[in-house]
């Protein structure tokens, strides 16, 4: 039992690392099993197909990210705009840690797979839509709070939240392409611009 679930987790960990590095299409089941150090036969014991593995990798990755985002974005001891700022700082720190770990900025797995796979498998497209919908909802709640406190001038908070997440995805794309996390420093001032907000007192906007 211990060994069994261990093998499943090894496959998932290897798949996640390989997908981050090289995307999904280029990967084969044999390669994933080799990297995981498990016999190829055991793959189909745990996963029906490569697609079902991809969905599980997405779910695991989102479960971890959702926990982190929830911790940051629902921390009511922190003013709402500060929470968004911390989200960007944590994103930059995570991308930097990944770069130090494997030499290149790996970007956002959800964005990567949206562009690589969304037109190829409807199951993956639907799952990625749900993940981004959830991200936008979480950001929207914070934007609404900032608006209610008179700290953000936007009226359509859903649209504004979607634009903040789109800006995040676009800048992370550039961070990956240019292999530079410094590009993420503009997330905070751009978020303020998109929300028609000013930098709260005690926070500096990086140039």
- 91 binding a copy of itself? (CB under 8 A): no
- The answer to whether residue 161 forms part of the interface with a copy of itself (CB under 8 A) is no
CB 127 within 8 A of CB 58: yes
95 belongs to the binding site for a copy of itself (CB under 8 A): no
Sign of the CA dihedral 116, 106, 207, 202? positive
- In whole angstroms, give the CA distance from residue 66 to residue 63: 5
- Residues in 163-182 that interact with a copy of itself by CB under 8 A: 163, 165-171, 173-174, 176-179
Residue 35 as a binder of a copy of itself (CB under 8 A): the answer is no
Q: Is 26 in the site for a copy of itself (CB under 8 A)?
A: yes
Residues at the site binding a copy of itself, with contacts judged by CB under 8 A: 21-23, 25-26, 104, 106-107, 111-112, 114-120, 125, 128-129, 132, 156, 159, 162-163, 165-171, 173-174, 176-179, 183, 186, 190, 193-194, 196, 207
């Amino acid at each position: 039992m211990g060994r069994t679930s261990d093998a499943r987790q090894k496959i998932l960990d290897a798949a996640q690392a390989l997908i981050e590095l090289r995307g999904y299409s280029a990967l084969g089941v044999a390669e994933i099993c080799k990297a995981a150090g498990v016999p190829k036969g055991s793959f189909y014991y745990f996963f029906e197909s490569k697609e079902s593995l991809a969905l599980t990798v997405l779910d695991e990755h989102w479960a971890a990210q959702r926990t982190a985002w929830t911790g940051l974005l629902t921390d009511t001891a922190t003013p709402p705009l500060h929470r968004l700022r911390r989200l960007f700082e944590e994103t930059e720190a995570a991308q930097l840690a990944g770069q130090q770990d494997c030499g290149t900025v790996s970007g956002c797995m959800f964005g990567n797979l949206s562009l690589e796979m969304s037109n190829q498998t409807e199951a993956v497209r639907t799952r990625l839509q749900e993940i981004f919908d959830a991200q936008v909802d979480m950001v929207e709640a914070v934007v609404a709070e900032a608006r209610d406190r008179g700290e953000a001038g936007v009226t359509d908070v859903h649209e504004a939240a979607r634009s903040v997440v789109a800006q995040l995805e676009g800048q992370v794309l550039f961070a990956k392409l240019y292999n530079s996390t410094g590009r993420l420093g503009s997330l905070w001032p751009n978020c303020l611009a998109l929300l028609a907000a000013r930098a709260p007192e005690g926070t500096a906007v990086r140039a």
